[in-house]
């Protein structure tokens, strides 16, 4: 099965194999957010996926 390239480009695999992605919801309307909220949105968050989903979206060599 082919790798889903559009999805895999949004995900970073860490050294220990964790999947990290940016949090949604910070493209616009951020002026009213507090500084603490804005900083929290900048951080990446881990993604929890089943092994079946990993096989579907990623090439076997990257995971």
**Residue 45: CA count within 13 A, CB half-sphere:** 11
Q: Is CATH 4.10.410 correct for 5-57?
A: yes
Q: What is the pLDDT of residue 59?
A: 64
Q: What is the pLDDT along the chain (63 residues), one digit of tens a residue?
A: 677 788 878 888 888 888 898 888 778 888 898 999 888 888 888 888 888 888 777 765 555
For residue 18, give the nearest of 39, 40, 49, 55 by alpha carbon: 49
Q: Which pTM value belongs to this model?
A: 0.60
Structure tokens at 13: 């695999």
Are 60 and 1 in contact, with CB atoms under 8 Å apart? no
């Amino acid at each position: 099965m082919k790798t889903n390239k559009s999805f895999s480009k949004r995900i970073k695999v860490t050294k220990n194999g964790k999947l990290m992605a940016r949090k949604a919801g910070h493209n616009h309307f951020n002026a009213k957010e507090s500084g603490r909220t804005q900083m929290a949105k900048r951080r990446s968050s881990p993604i929890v996926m089943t092994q079946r989903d990993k096989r579907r979206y990623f090439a076997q060599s990257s995971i």
